[in-house]
Amino acid sequence: MRIVASYSIKGGVGKTTAAANLAWLAAESGHRVLLWDLDPQGGATYLFRIRPKVKGGGGALVSGKRDLRDAVKASDFDNLDLLPSDFSYRNLDLLLDAQKRPTRRLGRLLDSMADDYDVVVLDCAPSVSLVSEGIVRAADLVLAPLVPAPLSVRTLDQLRSFIAEAKGPAPDLLAFLSMVDRRRRLHRDLSEQLPKEHQDVSGTTIPMASVVEQMGVRRAPVVAWARTSPASVAYRSLWDEARLHAKV
């Protein structure tokens, strides 16, 4: 089982969109996929038309009082299940802190699912926290969206430092630019420069596109219903890179 975390320190950069589309693409390729929506806002849960509720909340999962399998919901797509968000996840740091070896807890919970799934995609809340440390420790690949702005490099540097300082083996890091509007010179320049200057930045960019925004209306990944759109083509290219880094 391989674990891919869609994670960034900064919010509003396309983490949930990436997680939903890559989880669908992994399932389409025949893998058994679990998407765990760890964000208390529940964006991925909403997109897949699942109620954002876990019986007993995050506390029951973290403590082991409820098996992860009991909280998993089937999606409308073959090979793709979802472990939904719950508003109690806003307190997940505190819940983890009450456990022994808290940074290992998420990884151990996911290890119990290894016989059921080939790929786990984590949709992570934007933060630098105990939960984030657990995610970094559990993941084989951290997939980090960046917006095309000068501060993106600073955000990426912070993320590199955070991963380097986390205990245990470091996951691979693959950053990519999202919400790219090629009508803007700055967006075009950064799309060309960053992959050349940083080995961990993908040459694949996700465009700013109305079809991506329509995911919230259609409540399905764009790759499922607009397969030939530039956005879908970009996500397929990103998945091809991600699967190589994660050794899926």
- The residue with tokens 């897949």 is 48
Q: What is the mean pLDDT of the chain?
A: 94
End-to-end CA distance of the chain: 8
**pLDDT score of 167:** 79
pLDDT tens figures, 157-180: 999 999 998 877 889 999 999 999
Mean pLDDT of 101-124: 94
- The residue with tokens 């992959």 is 195
Contact status, residue 152 vs residue 117, Cβ threshold 8 Å: no
Name beta bridge partners: 6: 123, 143
Asked if residue 76 has pLDDT above 90, the reply is yes
**pLDDT score of 122:** 98
- Give the whole-angstrom CA distance, residue 157 versus residue 142: 14
Give the least confident one: 29-33, 166-170, 183-187, 209-213: 166-170
**pLDDT score of 53:** 93
Asked if residue 25 has pLDDT above 90, the reply is yes
pLDDT tens figures, 221-233: 999 999 999 999 9
Mean pLDDT of 97-113: 91
**pLDDT score of 118:** 98
Asked if residue 24 has pLDDT above 90, the reply is yes
**pLDDT score of 111:** 95
**pLDDT score of 158:** 93
Contact status, residue 155 vs residue 123, Cβ threshold 8 Å: no
Confidence tier at 29 by pLDDT (50, 70, 90)? very high
What is the enclosing helix (H) or strand (E) of 144? strand 141-146
Token readout for 199 is 């080995």
Asked if residue 152 has pLDDT above 90, the reply is no
Phi then psi for residue 86, to 5 deg, are -145, 140
Mean pLDDT of 182-195: 94
Asked if residue 7 has pLDDT above 90, the reply is yes
Degrees to nearest 5, angle at CA 204 with 243 and 174? 50
